[in-house]
Structure 1
Amino acid sequence: MEQRQLGRTGLRVSHLGLGTLTWSRDTDEHEAREQLRDFVEAGGTLVDTSASYADGGAEELIGSLLGDVVAREDVVLCTKAGVRSAASGGGADASRGGLLSTLDASLRRLGTDHVDLWLVQVPDPHTPLSETVSALRLAVTSGRARYVGLSNHPGWQVARAATLLADDVGLAAVEVEYSLLERGIEREVLPAATDLGIGVLAWSPLGRGVLTGKYRRTIPADSRAASPHLAGFVQPYLGSQSLAVVEAVATAASGLDCTPLEVALAWLRLRTPITSSIVGARTAAQLRGSLAADDVELPEEIVRALDEISAPQLGYPERR
């Protein structure tokens, strides 16, 4: 599997990352073990998780597998903080205290003294960005994180954080949703990251599973869209607006004798500003389907057709 430089840092990550959103909830220890083994054997290195996934359960499961299935030094471990769980409902907490205490808890669950990449998961409208950035700086200077970044932040915040960290720590990465069904980052975030030398990690490169084509006719009983805690996550892409893109991907797959999943990932692999696409699979069999996409090459005419049908709407001030 191709290894790519993360922005202008010295960190290299695999162009496919292993997402763990479902681990310890929909993905049990046996399936997680098999996924991690297959991923590393295929040359994968980037393992992406968060303190908020299964309320820390995903991190605990990863921690139990490190040193057993794979050596800690053989993976690039990325986790996120900044989402607070509470009985009254969750919310953003990117305060210095909230972030650093979450990082310490993540390290305990993961069974390691540092993570390779630590991200603030969502913007916090109640905390000054300068305070959030101070926690990122302290995470690096204290040795708890090797590199830091943001996730799901708008372009202006990415640029501002990069400016505040420019003299010493640097902003290594931004993790954002990006796929043929969601290309909104092309308006502001992607140009900012490209200009500032920040690596881009794409989460949900399969459009929350919709680009696999599994929802073209119905909602499978064992799918995320039928899951009580993930149905709302998939629902936005089940409408008519997404249908034309999904059908175009399915048509291309039929002509190339491959799967829609492979077409979607092959298209994203060609988007040069994207360092790594993070694929989350419920089962090891599903993950192997994503790993197989490395063998698919898209003809230029298909790439152009997919570009056109999925192009994001631009308006003022991006286009006048």
Structure 2
Amino acid sequence: MAGALARGAEDVGVRTHRVGASGLEVSGLGLGTMTWGGDTDLHGAERLVARFVEAGGTLIDTAPAYGGGAAEKMIGRITRTHVRRDELVIATKAGFGLRNGRRTVDTSRKAMLDDLTGSLRRLHTDHVDLWQVHAWGRAPYEETLAALDTAVSSGMARYVGVCNYIGWQIGTAAAWQRAVPGRSGLVSGQVEYSLLARRAEVEVVPALAAHSMGLFAWSPIGRGVLTGKYRRGVPRDSRGAREHFSWFVEPYLESRSRAVVDAVTRAADGLGLAPAQVAMLWVRDAPGVTAPLLGARTVQQLEPYLDLDDTTLPEPIVSALDDVTGGPNQARSDRRTTAGTTD
């Protein structure tokens, strides 16, 4: 079965992709930093970024909420000591964080721009390459989006996007930005997407496609569950065993998820791959996806994903995984039909 894989003769590194219809280019794999400042210390982060950049990676996704700003500070330190700032595409966010110990969404103009000012200070840079609204908030969307315009016009952000928006929210925001010349068009949406979380296919993926926006998929390996390491319990060194992250993993430790993990593991065994690699490839090659965002905590966790550019899953495996996780991906089916028509 391993012979069914499409594989190049040598490791060519991580390729770059355009983000939607914009001029922004990013690596086809992004490095997430949610664990930085907690489970990943500065030394570990330095090693991660060095290896990532060595393999051709450019996209690093962060947020003020990650480690209470610690993740951004670590990136700022790394760009002064280990890699050049212009080697990275830095994406950060605004509008969500911990205030007085509580998770708070504040997407008002002042809160958004205050967040950006703080991000730039921690990152030790005069601009971010992609600035994203972290979540839909109670502030009028016109006010939130005006903050994005200010960020771009002032040079503090090169491009702007949204995170965790559902379909109608993406459509509303994107259409508003396109309605008047001079507003900053949204180039991307970031949402959870994996074999354990396919809801994005219903409305989010079509909305992004309709507005020529790219898709960044967070937790492409199902919050770590699709590695298979939770099949016989919760390992002591896993995120699921940590009090501050157990809530993040627990939703996928139920019977349906176990059945999906078993299917992914069987596919991986037949292909000579690790389950997590199969899960990542399924997301990476799904219609509309610009780049999966991998929250690796160590270089050892990152390494298996760095030489997959010339590896694709066989169509029968993709179809089988689609079936076991909810049915055909309509966009994938449409793409196959179109390809068959033009051949």
Pick the TM interval, shorter chain.
over 0.9
Cα distance between partner residues in 2 of 1:240 and 1:111: 46
Cα distance between partner residues in 1 of 2:162 and 2:99: 23
**Unaligned stretches of 5+ residues in structure 2:** 1-13, 330-343
Cα distance between partner residues in 1 of 2:166 and 2:328: 17
Match of 2:96 among 75, 83, 98: 83
- Equivalence for 2:258: 243
Residue 63 (str. 1) matches residue 76 (str. 2): yes
Q: Deviation at 1:281?
A: 0.9
Cα 1:58–1:312 shift into 2, 3 Å: farther
Contact 1:262 1:296 in 2 (8 A): no
- Equivalence for 1:255: 270
Q: Deviation at 1:43?
A: 0.6
Match of 1:200 among 215, 224, 227: 215
CA offsets, 1:142-168, max 9 Å, x none?
110000011001111111111121133
Cα distance between partner residues in 2 of 1:247 and 1:147: 40
After TM superposition, list the pairs within 5 Å mapping 1:32-51 onto structure 2: 32-51=45-64
- Equivalence for 2:249: 234
Q: Deviation at 1:313?
A: 10
Cα 1:90–1:115 shift into 2, 3 Å: same
Cα distance between partner residues in 2 of 1:145 and 1:197: 20
Cα 1:206–1:140 shift into 2, 3 Å: same
- Equivalence for 1:318: none
Report the AA paired with residue 92 of structure 1. V
Cα distance between partner residues in 2 of 1:162 and 1:52: 25
Contact 1:158 1:193 in 2 (8 A): yes
Cα distance between partner residues in 1 of 2:328 and 2:93: 30
- Equivalence for 2:155: 143
Q: Deviation at 1:295?
A: 4.9
Residue 128 (str. 1) matches residue 140 (str. 2): yes
Match of 2:321 among 302, 306, 310: 306
Contact 1:150 1:174 in 2 (8 A): yes
Query: TM-score, normalised to structure 2's length?
Result: 0.89
Residue 160 (str. 1) matches residue 172 (str. 2): yes
Report the AA paired with residue 170 of structure 1. G
SS at match of 1:136: helix
Cα distance between partner residues in 2 of 1:312 and 1:84: 36
Report the AA paired with residue 175 of structure 2. T
Cα distance between partner residues in 1 of 2:288 and 2:326: 16
Give aligned-pair identity as a percent. 49
Cα distance between partner residues in 2 of 1:297 and 1:200: 19
Contact 2:319 2:328 in 1 (8 A): no
Cα distance between partner residues in 2 of 1:226 and 1:172: 36
After TM superposition, list the pairs within 5 Å mapping 1:102-117 onto structure 2: 102-117=115-130
Contact 2:15 2:309 in 1 (8 A): no
SS at match of 2:135: coil
SS at match of 1:147: strand
Cα 1:259–1:313 shift into 2, 3 Å: closer
Cα distance between partner residues in 1 of 2:97 and 2:29: 28
Contact 1:50 1:56 in 2 (8 A): yes
Cα distance between partner residues in 2 of 1:182 and 1:150: 19
- Equivalence for 1:224: 239
- RMSD of aligned C-alpha atoms? 1.4
**Unaligned stretches of 5+ residues in structure 1:** 315-320
After TM superposition, list the pairs within 5 Å mapping 1:13-52 onto structure 2: 13-52=26-65
Cα distance between partner residues in 2 of 1:69 and 1:308: 44
Report the AA paired with residue 9 of structure 1. S
Q: Deviation at 1:297?
A: 2.5
Contact 2:95 2:133 in 1 (8 A): yes
Report the AA paired with residue 39 of structure 1. F
- Equivalence for 1:285: 300
Query: TM-score, normalised to structure 1's length?
Result: 0.95
Report the AA paired with residue 304 of structure 2. G
**Runs of 4+ more than 4 Å apart:** none
CA offsets, 1:166-210, max 9 Å, x none?
133100110000001001011111101001101110001010000
SS at match of 1:286: helix
Contact 1:262 1:292 in 2 (8 A): no
